[in-house]
């Protein structure tokens, strides 16, 4: 007997895994999914990251320091990048046991930086801001689909290895894949991936396929069940599921292990580190999922920002450098692009509570193998002026100089070999960044 909708929901809640499959079949009878050879990892900096304290405008450090008497990173905490005198990295992106983190990636040719990223008429609302970034719309336009959903559904073909089009490992309500005709694996627990995989496979073990028939509602339930069975089969195969282990609850016996991954040496402890490790394990195991989204929250600091923000940057650099090292260890870095995004930046001048208020433009980073980046074009854009501000005291959008966030998305789609025409020609990929 097939599971009922209620039973499917119960299973999803019990496992911490939910399948968002509003339409498993297209009108032609096949799920519109590309043939994937590359992976995209989106990193959401939830709350609005303070780009000014992340990548510091060293060309105008005096103005930066004056506007942030308690928040400015002192010169002793600035870390230079070779060949780029105009900016400095916050020391938390570089310092740490074992490596120079982001500076090492820069020296390797594996880090690219885009300055002054945002949009005209930037929304300063968390809810509206992240909705715009997830949908790929303009500030005044409301779309109900994610930018990746529109590109995915414009692509043709499906492979037998496709588990899902995307996996969201935290904050599943923030979804750039939202919409019909895409399958999203939503993982709502903060456990390591072996717990995700083992729990899901064990819960789905007894499901049996059934013909897609009956009422529209029943067909939807059967399609979801079919998707779960397909995903279970793929994960079973990739992770060598043994149903007799772990007191007959089952256990994955072929989970990828990375050189140096002991304690928190490779990944930071906690939720973000677990997400980075999980993505690395899924990519290393060649799970058929092309897009991953991970999340680190806590960037909305209106008071007492400095210590909290420094800690978040240290986690970010530790986690993403660990993800890079794990992928390199398994020969998968060249197949992967990692990219940050956030709903907005922060105001230039600190407020009266040693924090910052919602702002506009901010820098973002992209990480991949050096073979994917043009060495001469890894710094894009110019730092927005700290003196020619907009009417609210925020970094001002300047046509022809500021970088529209959709150009980052178009860059990611080009990397994946996906249709870029979900955005018009105004939002072309970053010029000269990618080698192919």
- Supply the angle between the helices 193-204 and 5-15 in degrees, to the nearest 10: 150
Q: What is the pLDDT of residue 18?
A: 43
DSSP 373: B
Q: Name residue 43's beta-bridge partners.
A: 294, 340
Question: Residues near 228 by Cβ (< 8 Å), separated by ≥ 6?
Answer: 8, 11, 19, 204, 207
Q: How many residues does the chain have?
A: 436
Run of H or E including 46:
strand 39-46
- pLDDT value, residue 189: 56
So where are the chain's domains?
5-427
Dihedrals φ, ψ of 123, to 5°? -75, 140
Q: How much is the pLDDT for 178? A: 92
Query: CA 235 to CA 19: how far, in whole Å?
Result: 14
Q: Per the structure block, which two tokens stand in for 135?
A: 């949908």
pLDDT confidence of residue 293: 96
Cα distances (Å, whole numbers) of residue 364 to 115, 162, 432? 7, 30, 17
pLDDT at 167: 87
List the structure tokens of 181.
């005709």
Q: Give the whole-angstrom CA distance, residue 338 versus residue 319.
A: 12
Q: What is residue 4's predicted lDDT score, i.e. its pLDDT?
A: 37
pLDDT of residue 225: 59
Q: Tell me the C-alpha distance between 27 and 46, whole Å.
A: 36
CATH class of 5-427: alpha beta
Which residues of the chain register pLDDT less than 70?
A: 1-36, 98, 156-162, 188-214, 217-236, 241-252
pLDDT for position 19? 42
């Amino acid at each position: 007997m097939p599971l009922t909708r209620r039973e499917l929901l119960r299973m999803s809640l019990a496992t911490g895994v939910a399948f968002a499959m509003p339409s498993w079949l297209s009108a032609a009878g096949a799920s519109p999914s590309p043939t994937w050879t590359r992976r995209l990892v989106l990193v959401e900096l939830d709350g609005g990251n303070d780009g000014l304290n992340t990548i510091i405008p060293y060309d105008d450090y005096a103005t930066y320091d004056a506007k942030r008497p308690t928040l400015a990173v002192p010169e002793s905490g600035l870390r230079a990048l070779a060949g780029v005198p105009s900016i400095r990295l916050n020391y938390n992106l570089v310092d740490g046991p074992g490596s120079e983190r982001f500076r090492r990636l820069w020296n390797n040719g594996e880090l690219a930086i885009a300055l002054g990223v945002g949009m005209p008429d930037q929304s300063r609302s968390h809810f509206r801001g992240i909705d715009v970034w997830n949908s790929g719309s303009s500030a005044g336009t409301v779309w109900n689909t994610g930018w990746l959903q529109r590109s995915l559904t414009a692509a043709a073909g499906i492979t037998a290895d496709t588990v899902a089009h995307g996996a969201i490992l935290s904050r599943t309500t923030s979804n750039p894949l939202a919409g019909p005709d895409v399958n999203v694996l939503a993982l709502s627990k903060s456990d390591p991936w072996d717990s995700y995989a083992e729990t899901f496979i064990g819960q789905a073990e007894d499901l049996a396929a059934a013909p897609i028939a009956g009422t529209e509602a029943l067909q939807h339930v059967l399609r979801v069940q079919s998707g779960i069975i397909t995903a279970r089969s793929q994960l079973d195969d990739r992770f060598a599921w043994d149903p007799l282990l772990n007191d007959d609850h089952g256990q994955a016996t072929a989970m990828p292990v990375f050189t140096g991954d002991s304690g928190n040496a490779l990944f930071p402890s906690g939720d973000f580190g677990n997400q980075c490790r999980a993505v690395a394990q899924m990519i290393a195991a060649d799970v058929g999922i092309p897009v991953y989204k991970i999340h680190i929250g806590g960037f909305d600091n209106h008071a007492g920002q400095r210590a909290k923000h420094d800690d978040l940057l240290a986690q970010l650099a530790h986690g993403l450098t660990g993800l890079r090292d794990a992928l390199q260890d398994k020969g998968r870095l060249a197949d992967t692009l990692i990219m940050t995004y956030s709903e907005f930046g922060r105001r230039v001048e600190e407020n009266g509570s040693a924090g910052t208020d919602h702002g506009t433009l901010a820098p973002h980073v992209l990480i991949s193998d050096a073979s994917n980046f043009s060495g001469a074009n890894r710094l894009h854009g110019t730092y927005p002026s700290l003196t020619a501000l907009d009417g609210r005291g925020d970094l001002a959008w300047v046509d022809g100089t500021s970088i529209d966030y959709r150009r980052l998305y178009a860059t990611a789609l080009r990397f994946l070999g996906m249709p870029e025409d979900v955005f018009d020609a105004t939002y072309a990929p970053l010029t000269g960044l990618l080698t192919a």
